[in-house]
Chain A
């Protein structure tokens, strides 16, 4: 088996991407887009919104003249990135760069773990050479489709603003332009060594999305899919969000579990089903969430009037969990509730002060939960403010989330049988407290609009869709509140809107397995081999590694994973087994038998059945002999068959060559060498008798 990690991604919105080679099949896991890279684009001309005393060169001219390039370059490195360093152009989108170095036609299967993991799929399906089978869970496929459609419609606005794009490379991708970019921006565009540059592509169209969705094979919860008769593929809930899953891939030679970011106990999605992952030979651990947390907490600092909810308050408690039973009993859920309650209380405060609240969401499940919580808070505080969701797919998304009970947590499934909606938003829509609008310029929205209000919009990058307009409207209002997810590069994201008077609330939610849960989880799963990221904090690795072998992997390094099993596991039909004619060899500990049958491959299992031709076709079979021939035993065997003869004395007995001369029934000769025997006879019947005698003495089959 071969493994390569193409990208370790960037948290929930940009899941990792891997390629696996199992039994001759090449499997791609996830095909995400790095939408955080959108931050380098400027959604509008920044000049108009600058304060008059702020001195700056006209951005347009800056982009078209490279005269004082060197000075600027120096300036860029020294000074922090500014709003006019952003690229004022229609954005391109950054897919996993290394994926495009692969021959797409060689990929056989694509597995999708979450809806964020499929946003780059149309780039693959657009390619005529791409012919892989794509598997995704029903919920993932549906949500992913909505996300992609939303992306396309939001991008349209960008295109309208900057005018139709020229064919070929955009201006900013030209080498001179890249050189003059601010270092921070350039790093996002090119990566450290320029390798990332190849990942940029113009966005797909709505038609591409439809075409892509036609090629996706959707699976129900825990439905078995069989690829090519050889691989059995199954999805189990990972608990991260609605429809997200971990995959198991089993063939006759190996059983592999792909473990993506998982959450043991979720208040919206079906919890992490780790029981079903048990008993696999190999676990590919692909949860980078814990590493992402440590990365982001050091780097970014929020703007002036921001508050931050720390994500680390979880880790001190429940550290000494030895048993698997303790998994999921942590206060994950109450923690989420606490955070949601805090967001709601902040929102209520803002609204109470006459400000509006803007919530660009990324995670569907959290957003739905927040929506429920928000109404509860508003109700208890007695405030009557409208809540809007502005998104081209809001209606479909909300409808859909109420019809996927199989991907929701037990508590919500119970609601089904009590006759309630799975999520509370349906009730609020009916009560006209929650209003859905496809776009900010909808006629209905203008009629309904009332401030202060609470608005949920896509997109967390703060570059696409209605959030841009609303943020521009409210960014100078100190009473308004923006709720953002942690770790989305807030500084850069907020740059076009600076200076911000608006409050910014940054919160982070659990987005994977916590480190202290890792050990009991892996103990429970009992794999033989674990592939894990090299940069997983070392403290947690030292404790693991007793019963299984660990193989650290890093980005873009092809790894040959030694097979845990050298042999295939196949099934032998009982009927065929009863037809076997085993014979003992050696000291009676080993028996061998000729095996003849038809090998069938069915649903990932090899079954050897007896074929119609019976065993008497031994004629066509070659006999295999080994060992050395004992002359005395041969003589006895010949005598038993009524063949007389004598040992010829003169043939070089010293070399270990024996020659047996047969006179009766007709003349023949047996010549015994160390490793071969030659029978010479003119008589066919006799020679067949001789062969019989020789093989009865030799070990053979």
Chain B
């Protein structure tokens, strides 16, 4: 099971700050995002980056495993 964490407004959209999901590896970060969007369709229109085990990852990075996934929107205000 992989721990998935949602930050900021994504918590409101998904209704949780974290959950544990069965993810089949390997897959790319983009494919991981697609899996999360299937779980929570409201994520599909959101802008956020994904960090895996506390390191930010690009969409085309292939993951062989992940203990923790963080979905991070950027906060724009000042």
Are A and B co-members of a single complex?
no
Listed in ascending order, the chain B residues whose CB lies under 8 Å from chain A are none
Listed in ascending order, the chain A residues whose CB lies under 8 Å from chain B are none
